[in-house]
């Protein structure tokens, strides 16, 4: 029954993502597939009730949107720094480092803000499980990427 429920959630999410996708946008489709996988993974790991899910997902989506916006700005800044690193003055290099520290602080501030909100919509054990599940999803995704680069070969124990 749980597998059927997970399949239905993932199928519904996948249909919604496909309907939203722009034709020919491969990077967008990859991002949407990863997001669909993450939603399914978190749904399965957290064992959300329907009431919890109704309250949790809007908060979580807002959290992800804020992090994504912050990370996009960082990505743009880092690319500029990478392209011009050899020609940077010490003062410019110092600014790059200071900006990275500020980014990490902003990321932590967002986490603290939403941690309080997560505690309002989920029991604390599920909040803790959320953080563990996000890390587990990252590890699983990285392993899938590694396996894909190695021709699908599985990691040896």
Phi, psi dihedrals of residue 31, rounded to the nearest 5°: -65, -40
This model's pTM is above 0.75: no
Cα–Cα nearest to 31, from 108, 141, 140: 141
- 61-93 tens-digit pLDDT: 999 999 999 998 887 777 777 777 888 889 988
Handedness of CA 81, 67, 20, 29 (dihedral sign): positive
- Both tokens assigned to 45: 């790991």
Q: Distance between CA atoms of 97 and 134, rounded to whole angstroms?
A: 27
Enumerate residue ranges in the chain where pLDDT < 70.
Answer: 1-28, 151-157
Q: Distance between CA atoms of 35 and 17, rounded to whole angstroms?
A: 9
What pLDDT is attached to residue 156?
53
């Amino acid at each position: 029954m749980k597998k059927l429920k997970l399949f239905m959630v993932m199928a519904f999410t996948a249909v919604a993502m496909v309907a939203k996708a722009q034709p020919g946008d491969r990077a967008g489709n990859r991002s949407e597939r990863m997001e669909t996988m993450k939603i399914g993974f978190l749904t399965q790991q957290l064992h959300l009730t329907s009431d919890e899910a109704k309250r949790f997902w809007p908060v979580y989506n807002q959290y992800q949107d804020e992090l994504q916006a912050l990370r996009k700005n960082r990505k743009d800044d880092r690319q500029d720094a990478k392209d011009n690193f050899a020609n940077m003055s010490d003062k410019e290099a110092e600014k790059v480092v200071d900006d990275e520290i500020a980014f990490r602080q902003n990321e932590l501030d967002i986490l603290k803000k939403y941690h309080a909100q997560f505690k309002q919509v989920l029991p604390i054990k599920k909040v803790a499980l959320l953080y563990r599940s996000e890390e587990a999803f990252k590890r699983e995704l990285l392993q899938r990427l590694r396996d894909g680069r190695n021709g699908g070969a599985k990691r040896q124990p």
